[in-house]
Amino acid sequence: MLDPAARVHGFDALPGDDAGTLHRLLERASRWPDDDERNRHRYLHDRRTREIVRAPDGSPIPYDPATLDFGSLTGTTSQGHAHYGLVEGPLSDDPEVLKKEPWRFAVPPTAHAYGVELVQLYTDLSALAAQSRLPSAVWLQAAFAGAAFHHLEDLCNQIHTVQVGIYEFLETALLESKLRDLQTLGGLFGERHSLQQVGLRLIANHHMLSEDLFAKHLGEMQLAGIDQPDPEIAAAPDLARAIIARSSREGPQVYRLAWRFSAKTLHDGVSGHEYDPSKGDDPDAYVERTPEAQAAIGEFHAIEIRGLRRAVTAVREWQRRFPGKPHDPVPQLVAYHEQAAARRAGYKAPATGHQAIAWGYPIAAVALLSAAFAFARRKGTASKQ
């Protein structure tokens, strides 16, 4: 479930492995699943040459096409499948579900994220390291424990438990993609932008903005009570699933508030700004300064602090329960790789380059112009008579 081209802490020797103290190691290790990009760029690699396998059109084939349900094949969003967790039970791609029960909305409705499984997998690896007699046993135990913490904490970040979150994203993406088709006459005079492209950009804009804004101002907030356990999470037999059940009800509100306080340029998924912290974007530069926006930010921070308290409880409870009941991850991993192979067999690469011209738009424009010309001509002839 890792990018075979990545160099991954815990599996490869890397700079920064020597953290000095166990406390510092756990802290660093809880960031490593993001920092070493282990879950990104999920290409299929040839077992013999290790080269990326490509489709007949030259495009790279994903190891598991299902990872594309949560983002792109490469870049930051390509790790979404590993850092999200959705509710159990039936999901739906009906827009009415997105309006009323957004935690149950997913496109396609078979979408599955692996945050829960990765919490368990890293817990298993940490337990295995603890039982080993390797000279590096203590280090390995902490490195894998930190990775388990990372995925637990991801689930406490409420927007990691909904795929889309709010109807406004879908509605705006549909409108903007159609307006773009009108402006370009279906791609005849400019590049088209699909509903998926525009929607993914709107979600990514508000996802990264909200995370960066909270992180930037966390040190300024009053965190009284953050150490008080969340009793419902502490008592849950399955930490990850209990967190998702709670977080998924709050995720839509986080996105709704972010939509209210974000700068209007982030609402434009075609020609607006594409928020990217790796390029130096400052979250404060992309929030509105109106009283309404500032009130929304206050509500947003309150929800985020609730998630932070949940994360503190979850990590401490994980440590208290470790190593837990013996669990063999091999059958689940074998099943996953078999399912991924089956999905690859039915995979069809998306069209490369620009979207095809939607000829209906220019044809309709020509028809309208012809009708207008004919009407004007008839009117002119009638006036001469």
Contact present, 64 and 25 (Cβ < 8 Å):
no
Average pLDDT for residues 330-353, to the nearest whole number? Answer: 89
Share of the chain above pLDDT 70, in %: 89
Distances (CA, A) of 180 to 90, 108, 375: 34, 24, 28
pLDDT category of residue 49 using cuts at 50, 70 and 90 = very high
- Residue-wise pLDDT for 12-29, tens only, equals 999 989 999 999 999 999
- DSSP annotation of 267: G
Mean pLDDT of the chain: 91
- Residue-wise pLDDT for 98-119, tens only, equals 999 999 999 999 999 999 999 9
What is the model's pLDDT at position 61?
Answer: 96
pLDDT category of residue 365 using cuts at 50, 70 and 90 = very low
What is the model's pLDDT at position 366?
Answer: 53
Indicate if the pLDDT at residue 330 is higher than 50.
yes
Average pLDDT for residues 346-353, to the nearest whole number? Answer: 75
Q: Alpha-carbon distance 183 to 189, whole Å?
A: 8
Token pair 């409880």: residue: 313
Indicate if the pLDDT at residue 289 is higher than 60.
yes
Distances (CA, A) of 368 to 184, 358, 363, 373, 382: 16, 16, 9, 8, 21
Secondary structure of 86-129 in HEC code, one letter for each residue: CCCCCCECCHHHHHHCHHHECCCCCCCCCHHHHHHHHHHHHHHH
- Residue-wise pLDDT for 228-241, tens only, equals 999 999 999 999 99
Indicate if the pLDDT at residue 377 is higher than 90.
no
What is the model's pLDDT at position 182?
Answer: 78
- Residue-wise pLDDT for 55-74, tens only, equals 998 999 999 999 999 988 99
Token pair 């709670």: residue: 246
- Residue-wise pLDDT for 126-144, tens only, equals 999 999 999 999 999 999 9
What is the model's pLDDT at position 383?
Answer: 60
Average pLDDT for residues 310-321, to the nearest whole number? Answer: 97
- Residue-wise pLDDT for 76-105, tens only, equals 889 999 999 999 989 999 999 999 999 999
pLDDT category of residue 172 using cuts at 50, 70 and 90 = very high
What is the model's pLDDT at position 196?
Answer: 86
Q: Is 177 exposed, middle or buried (0-12, 13-18, 19+ CB in 10 A)?
A: buried
Indicate if the pLDDT at residue 361 is higher than 90.
no
**Contacting residues for 44 by C-beta, under 8 A, at least 6 apart:** 52, 53, 60, 61, 62, 63, 344
Q: Alpha-carbon distance 156 to 315, whole Å?
A: 11
SS3 (DSSP) at 6:
coil
Nearest CA-CA partner of 70 in 55, 91, 51: 91
Average pLDDT for residues 343-371, to the nearest whole number? Answer: 65
Indicate if the pLDDT at residue 263 is higher than 90.
yes
SS3 (DSSP) at 354:
coil
Q: Alpha-carbon distance 51 to 376, whole Å?
A: 63
Lowest mean pLDDT among 180-184, 195-199, 329-333: 180-184
